[in-house]
Structure 1
């Protein structure tokens, strides 16, 4: 068996990219060049006058004419939710700044998915919903002005945690995302700068053939917002992310596929994803798989990535009620400097958040629908056990980490067929691996300043 797996991994290591790599990203972009200037529809560039209706009128007029370019005169534009349509390019040029309204009433509620659960939630600042052939481009800025939403979250969390309700805070504290692509195809996001997200910054949901190219995300301006993920790819396929630079306060580049009972019900994978030539600065993880894994995450290539001060470098995380499989993932040519943990793998991530238990004093029949979805048990329980397998990490260089590896499977689900090739990690502590099976290790150096070797426990076929 070991020889068979060795042959498989050697073939994979030397093989060219799979055919799907050439199919990722938007296959087309809007071609019509007719310009619809928002100012001609009443948008005022003073950063104070709410311009939502005027901008939306320009978008609607553009779409009615078969597409074109919606643009702005230089200045600042205060706006709530905008909804793009087929054939429209929203062009935010240098010198133009969209400012997100700080009033939740300017973000109408829609049916969507948040952190793995389908529910009602405020629309994003910029929305592409059920559309094809749409683009958001330009060298301008979208400043979501999310700080009031951060503050409302922390206030609610302070109230909820003593009641044993940590697991539902993120769903009750409604905060708008900055840019949402949902149920859409052939969407291009290019070169814009996004700042101060109220919640996730770019959310690609139930969509295919999406390109995110050259995005700069700066969420740690004026504070450190909770859950301000950079780019979330959620139950979507054929996605290309490249040349992006993210500084946020949660996962930087993240792949997701649903949570627990609701995620298993939807059962849509994230697959055929290429992430390349990107930088993560502050944030929870350079590249993260999960914690929402229910629909499975597979066929992913990530290459030429840099982490500079990120909390975790490569991160696979789930929970024992989540289910799904993370598999066929290849990560290569990655450098990390000053990260917390270089490689972290866990099936029991953040228990107070990951497991939903209704405290005494609540009647389940009267609960909101999203509470009921979170409390619905996964049955049989075995369906909730996640699996991580066929993971390759090659050409990884790590300097000044706090810990090299923290990898924990479980007795019910081993970490199978990981391959590490040409890996050099310098850390305060080498770390540990538990419940691994059949790891292939080639040219790996993991040195801890405490002089303790990497600890391998309850594993078979894992030798360093």
Structure 2
């Protein structure tokens, strides 16, 4: 499967070519090696605990909400959450029924509990969502309030076996992409001009308070966004029909996403996007998405460098990835850096999943992705490549901010069928460094790998198409 090599390939100092044309690092091992990195993963799990709440309950129906799917319950949610917060916190209960509302803003020590049989249905009227301080694709601005939002809060949660329905689709939110697949037709406004304007503002250093969008503009809101929060729990809920990114914690600490189901195939419908966060655990969840299942981020381009806060100490375990662009993804908004990512005990089960492990960046993003560890992953089928590391994503090379990517370790990965094992492209002056695969089996790979400008690719007991790849004499 590797008979035909790309024109450029870089070996680490002292490297040797493997059977099949792959690369090995120097005998000294990868520069990013750790003694036992999985001890760090255990420490992350111990630190990230579910917040606790007082045993007080406030039913939204006691504040005027009606579960008929027609009555606007926005004020009832506001009143219940406000009362709960003023009285020291507790659980705001959404009983069975269908509750129509505008944005919900959580406050410290409040758990929004969506009971089994309950659905929160979010209005499709953009005028219902006033601008709040947020990030849109990695750039800070004021934009439509996320459907569930918290800013600067401690001990906040969205729990319960109910459903959050964003009602996005071919008649609301999605058509703003300008894509006919998502309902756009001639005459419907699109997000392109606003997105270009926001990027231009960030590049020129326009203060965030002056980057105001929201009603009258066309940048879609996120679904759930805790911003600058601590001790956050998102548990058990099902999320459907989101305008774009579903669970998007930003600049937050100690975030636990547990036993969540995301099923939303719209544009930019990432499942969970921790951005510039520290200590995040995503566990026991199922992602069936229109974009990346999990996408770890840290800000985009000039604005990401201005904020300059990395994502670090992220643990993903015991999850299932179905449809999506990538299973576990880093970037492309990673200008603030990403490090200490651990992914284990995952199942990837859809032929419509593009990549298993996906790292995407370029020389406009800059930043770094270091110290990434994946193990014990079972994949039935991958559409494009099991592992992608792409420096040519979006704007590509030729700009002043080359990224740094290295210290990527994959162990006990089993893939049934894939187009390629590797799709890895660095730059000649900025190679990808130190990638190690150990005890990995690829039952069937149907196409030639792409490996360009990589220093130090180590393969230990890696089998492809029934044949082991072993070190060969150079």
Q: TM-score range by the shorter chain?
A: 0.7 to 0.9
Deviation of the 1:98 alpha carbon: 0.4
Give the alignment of 1:369-448 within 5 angstroms.
Answer: 382=400, 384-425=401-442, 426-447=444-465
| Higher RCO structure, 1 or 2 (CA under 8 Å, sep 6+) | 2
Query: RMSD value over aligned CA atoms?
Result: 3.0
User: Contact conserved, 1:21 with 1:272, CA < 8 A, in 2?
Assistant: no
1:196–1:463 Cα change, 3 Å: farther
Deviation of the 1:165 alpha carbon: 6.9
Alignment correspondent of 1:56: 78
Deviation of the 1:154 alpha carbon: 2.4
Residue aligned with 1:420, SS:
strand
* 1:66 and 2:88 matched: yes
* 1:77 and 2:99 matched: yes
User: Contact conserved, 1:342 with 1:404, CA < 8 A, in 2?
Assistant: yes
Deviation of the 1:49 alpha carbon: 1.2
* 1:344 and 2:388 matched: yes
Alignment correspondent of 1:140: 162
Alignment correspondent of 1:362: none
* 1:294 and 2:335 matched: yes
1:101–1:161 Cα change, 3 Å: closer
Looking at structure 1, the residues matched to 52 and 129 of structure 2 have their Cα atoms a distance apart, in angstroms, of 26
1:167–1:48 Cα change, 3 Å: closer
> Which is further off, 384-393 or 429-438?
429-438
Alignment correspondent of 1:279: 320
1:4-55 Cα offsets, whole Å, 9 max, x none, are 326974x64x665127734566445232111111111111111111111111
User: Contact conserved, 2:32 with 2:371, CA < 8 A, in 1?
Assistant: no
1:44–1:107 Cα change, 3 Å: same
User: Contact conserved, 1:230 with 1:246, CA < 8 A, in 2?
Assistant: yes
User: Contact conserved, 1:25 with 1:240, CA < 8 A, in 2?
Assistant: no
Alignment correspondent of 2:208: none
* 1:174 and 2:192 matched: no
1:105–1:7 Cα change, 3 Å: closer
User: Contact conserved, 1:438 with 1:462, CA < 8 A, in 2?
Assistant: no
1:100-148 Cα offsets, whole Å, 9 max, x none, are 1111111111121111111121111111211001111101111111111
Residue aligned with 1:339, SS:
strand
Q: 2:295 aligns with which of 244, 254, 262?
A: 254
Give the alignment of 1:85-104 within 5 angstroms.
Answer: 85-104=107-126
1:284–1:6 Cα change, 3 Å: closer
Looking at structure 1, the residues matched to 277 and 97 of structure 2 have their Cα atoms a distance apart, in angstroms, of 35
User: Contact conserved, 1:134 with 1:188, CA < 8 A, in 2?
Assistant: yes
1:161–1:334 Cα change, 3 Å: farther
1:299-320 Cα offsets, whole Å, 9 max, x none, are 1111111212212111000111
Q: 1:198 aligns with which of 225, 238, 243?
A: 243
Looking at structure 2, the residues matched to 342 and 215 of structure 1 have their Cα atoms a distance apart, in angstroms, of 25
User: Contact conserved, 1:24 with 1:274, CA < 8 A, in 2?
Assistant: no
User: Contact conserved, 2:177 with 2:191, CA < 8 A, in 1?
Assistant: no
Looking at structure 2, the residues matched to 74 and 335 of structure 1 have their Cα atoms a distance apart, in angstroms, of 37
Deviation of the 1:168 alpha carbon: 3.4
User: Contact conserved, 2:321 with 2:327, CA < 8 A, in 1?
Assistant: yes
1:295–1:408 Cα change, 3 Å: same
Structure 2: give runs of 5+ residues left out of the alignment.
Answer: 1-12, 14-25, 200-216
Structure 1: give runs of 5+ residues left out of the alignment.
Answer: 356-377, 455-460
1:129–1:161 Cα change, 3 Å: closer
Deviation of the 1:462 alpha carbon: 11
What is the aligned residue count? 422
Looking at structure 2, the residues matched to 110 and 283 of structure 1 have their Cα atoms a distance apart, in angstroms, of 29
Using the size of structure 2 for normalisation, the TM-score is 0.83
1:444–1:109 Cα change, 3 Å: same
Alignment correspondent of 2:204: none
